[in-house]
A and B are shown apart, each in its own frame.
Chain A
């Protein structure tokens, strides 16, 4: 579903992403781990088509992002570190707006309310202005947008950063449920614990290189932390 082949990004003399080859199939949660500047967000931006690659190809559902960005994005949902919504609109109004713009005006308001409840947003909050929402609530609306869009692939950029442990845990469960429905998830994160809990595979990035890929089923929390810190120390 998400494929990178020799994907590279250079800014003048600086290489932000060395040739990356990666494939995230349906139902997999691939977590990109790494320090700031490791190339995680650059990878996400390349899949979104927000920045042109210096080399290689990024594909979403077989569509070359560089050649047909709008078409590629039809298959995607994106949740940043903080989901930004329109503060003067309610959660429900925001969800209606983003869902319509995602090309799904056919999803009824009743269904959208169901989705909001399903992602854990309290019923009374749906009609409240988003300006009053906590970060966790906004992240849930972000997930609701992805669900309403029925996206086949999900790009997450530090989505649990700043969330309290309970909210982060709820968020992880939602991601797992989406993956269970066949959604391919690529998540950039600093959170080793979440990566191990939610991820199917983790990739460790350093200075723009994907230095190691691990299957989370094959490794424990402590081992993952040790491997990660070993790479960071090099």
Chain B
């Protein structure tokens, strides 16, 4: 019986020109977004690989120079573009793709595609995730709003129920019919997506990211289940198809367009994060209170000198078995690190609390939970951006420490006249970053996951109670 119902729903819907146009448009947009992303990711990856190789060559082929000068010369760290950023580029366009790692400073990320893009490009920036989060629900509404209300209005429901068809069977048939139309759009899009990833990254990348990709697929499927259930629930209760459509479009606009904006404003209002200027000023202020490893006249440097002389039981710097300038640089770095740790922890903590507020708003707008989970699975959310910046910062500290330590141990009295050879540069391994596993990501996004699951349960319950009360009159 269900097969008959699915076939009939399919026949009816595919013969409806409005559904054909909308489904075709969404398929076209989804395909276009994936293809454009694939080209962009492939180009970005190629440019990044070339830049990584170049920056490495520049580092290891430096002429002999003072290690601390080499630490200032610095290294670029590039954020790898995750495979699934094809589907959801998350914060990547705004957060930057590379950072310059150098002594004393934790620099901000540069190369932000959103900053580089022409203002008009923003208008046409329709990613696959936007299509999935906003336009596919619209297709579900168009396909499902008349499921029961239309049958009731046209009188066919009387005839169906008079045949002895159980309302729950009718509902199941409707749900599966809507799903089949959806599948007709999403299946080719999924194949296209896999082909785009293979083309951009190679088959190995697809296999490596399969758990995340499958989870991402499940997240979107659950989101579509919510929309199908809400649409059928509204249709079962509405007196007319028109009122069902108006109600569902209202829900779509409020949850899809209004709520994200409200969530964003609310999170910023409830949790204040410092502006870029305030953040930089606070760090500069903190730095002024600590030791300056470059300035021997600095009072704190003088105090350090006294402690080191006492520690080694000598009267002058020339009697030290190690280079004091190196020690002072170590101390300066350690102080700087503590400042950065404190300030960045405050900043990230504010961002995380803002994220919690947004997840809270997802209780009334499931798209917010899906957005968070989608970015998480794609590896482009704030948590993974932070994880990458932490890894880059750890690398910076290790290589700066290695440079300062070499100076401490080997410079003797030459101080900044001391020069290290290329052998030291090659001891510094290239920066590499491994993305976290699925469990870590799910742990970070557990709030959003719970909200989405709650939406699934509540919306299905809403649909079931509506169908139970289904009346032909």
Contacts and interface: CB of A to CB of B under 8 A. Distances in A.
Co-complex (A, B): yes
Determine which residue in B16, B155, B164, B472 has the highest number of CB atoms from chain A within 10 A of its CB, and name it. Answer: B164
- Chain A, interface size category, equals 20 to 34
B473 A86 contact: no
Determine which residue in A77, A97, A105, A145 has the highest number of CB atoms from chain B within 10 A of its CB, and name it. Answer: A97
Contact of A101 (B1, B16, B473): B1
A145 B166 CA distance: 18
Contact of A85 (B4, B156, B163): B156
Interface residues of B, number: 23
A97 to B, nearest CB: 5
B370 to A, nearest CB: 33
A105 B163 CA distance: 13
Nearest to B165: A101
A85 to B, nearest CB: 7
Interface in B1-29: 1, 4-5, 8, 11-12, 15-16
Contacts of A105: 1, 4
Tell me whether chain A's interface is mostly helix, strand or loop, or mixed: mixed
B163 A102 contact: yes
A93 B163 contact: no
Interface string B156-174: 1011111111100000000
Given A86-B8, A86-B156, A88-B11, A45 B473 contact: yes
B107 interface: no
Interface string A194-208: 000000000000000
Interface in B34-57: none
A20 interface: no
B162 to A, nearest CB: 4
A83 B160 CA distance: 11
B239 to A, nearest CB: 16
Given A89-B8, A101-B4, A102-B163, 9 more contacts: A51-B473, A70-B164, A73-B164, A78-B159, A78-B162, A89-B15, A101-B165, A103-B1, A155-B162
Interface of A: 45, 48, 50-51, 70-74, 76-78, 80, 82-86, 88-89, 93, 96-98, 100-103, 105, 142, 145, 149, 155
18 contacts: A45-B473, A48-B162, A51-B473, A70-B164, A73-B161, A73-B163, A73-B164, A77-B162, A80-B158, A80-B159, A82-B155, A84-B159, A86-B8, A96-B4, A98-B163, A101-B1, A105-B4, A145-B163
